[in-house]
Structure 1
Amino acid sequence: MTTSDSTNSPASRRGARALFVLFAWTAGWVLTLAFARFGPNWWGSEGAVLTWFAVALNIAVGIGWIVAYAWFLRALDELQRRIQVDAMAAALGVGVVGGCATGALISAELLVLDAPAAIAAVVVAMAVGYLVTIAAGTVRYR
């Protein structure tokens, strides 16, 4: 099989479609999160119903994002799936260990962060851990 044959295979097209769908759900989730987070600044405290709606919309789109990610994983070949699972394990570990360490430092008043900043820091650390592990796995298995 030539390279052009493998890039046009049904499995390759399915994987590309799953990646596009995952990207769309990810972008939708990020946009609804921004709407839920920053929307109250626009409509003020009188817009509690709008805030509840924005958060509910974010949760609904987040569920769609999770389903899209599962679909994406099923569309991958075994090696790509292994790289993804390794990256998910690293991200979970960074989140749990980093989150607990951050919480302990905040409780001991050795780190001054409010809850949103602490959560954002842990999420960013998880994302970086995930991306670094994807890159390392891709280099390792190629």
Structure 2
Amino acid sequence: VVADTSGRHDTLCGTSTLVRNTGRYGDGTPQSASPAGSELFKLAAAKNGLGPRDLPPSLSFFQGVEIRDDGSPDFTGSAGPGAAVTLRAEQDVTVLIANVPHPADPRPAYTSTPLEVLAWRARATAAGDPLWEATPEGRRAFLNTAEFLATRGLA
């Protein structure tokens, strides 16, 4: 994440499931009016030659969750219209997107708002780039990625 005007994200709760959406909205299959995020991810994975075991945990952008003192999640709501997140990847990636309500969203109706996704290629970074030296963790990540790509003949 190199830019974020939202500040509302969740890396803990995951996405909605078929069972939960069926119980809450009457259906959770991908073609329904209330598709579950897990089902959409499995469908998107299959379209890319991947199976359910290939799916990592999901994260939710634009929907916030904080953890209360007692350890329970507290849904803090949507970032609202116009919020943006910019992601940077130094190698080819497959991004699967499911624009669905957050599983902790208390609204009784299935509520999903429009999402605009833009992707573009930028110049690759290299040693000496200010991004490589911004933090020790970042430098290590850039070096690991460069080594990974070089050993596979991709860089």
User: Which category describes the TM-score, using the shorter chain as reference length?
Assistant: under 0.3
Quick check: which one's helix share is greater? 1
TM-score normalised by structure 2 residue count? 0.22
Quick check: which one's strand share is greater? 2
TM-score normalised by structure 1 residue count? 0.23
